[in-house]
Structure 1
């Protein structure tokens, strides 16, 4: 039988960096995840000044992180806010309308990643038509601009 050498015999001493390597950027208590859900992670990139995806909704919760640039983020019932590179966002999904996810800057692209809990057999994103937007306009937070 051949001699077996432990890989630890050749490794450098372990670093303690792992003890301070994690930074919590977001904690949330999302609503129920759809039964049988699968998870999809995407990267979205909008060019400078792009308004982003039209008003839409997701079947389950979505968790995101801005990698570069600045995103205008607006959910039904909440005022629009700017999410900058290094900041996180989330939305509950379900019946909530996601009004804005566009680029807040006209000089640089915005790039963000989103992990969504998707309901089997349903698209990860459904656009909201104008009729529904009019019907639900009282649920949208007042806009400052």
Structure 2
């Protein structure tokens, strides 16, 4: 058995049985003591645009149960995450532009587990002035047609 994270408590790695499938394995940014966690279930009707641009105070990890999510973070091109797919974001200063239903004729359902920074709200909307000031950080938009 190999060790995972040697030098950090050096806990032995556990072999998972074949019935357990790892969906995502990421290293989130450092998170201070005193934070909290929240898991939410989101169910968007067909073509729902999702939340307006916002930030999360800490990292978020998502799994699409059914449908497809149009997902876009600042500095990354928008992408569609289909059922069975995962997404994550680091939180903090990064703007989360889109989390809407990418399907015009079907519901989309996804679960998100968010880690909240101590003393900060889990989610904060971004105002129009800041969106304009940071427009140069947004990846190019897909062309229509």
Give CA deviations for 1:6-35 in whole Å, capped at 9, x if unaligned. xxxxxxxxxxxx721111111111111243
Q: Which ranges of structure 2 fall in alignment gaps of 5 or more residues?
A: 1-15
Instruction: Please name the residue that 2:24 is paired with.
Output: 26
Match of 1:70 among 68, 85, 101: 68
Select the structure that is richer in helix.
Answer: 1
Measured in 2, the distance between the counterparts of 1:35 and 1:98 equals 24
- Partner secondary structure for residue 65 of structure 1: strand
* Match in the other structure for 1:107: 105
Q: 2:127 aligns with which of 119, 126, 129?
A: 129
Runs of at least 4 residues off by over 2 Å: none
Return the TM-score normalized by structure 1.
0.85
TM-score, normalised via structure 2 length: 0.85
Supply the distance in 1 between the matched residues of 2:33 and 2:103 (Cα, whole angstroms): 38
Structure 1: which 5+ residue stretches go unaligned? 1-17
> Any idea what the Cα deviations from partners look like across 1:99-125, whole Å, max 9, x if unmatched?
000000011111100000012332211
Q: CA deviation at 1:144?
A: 1.0
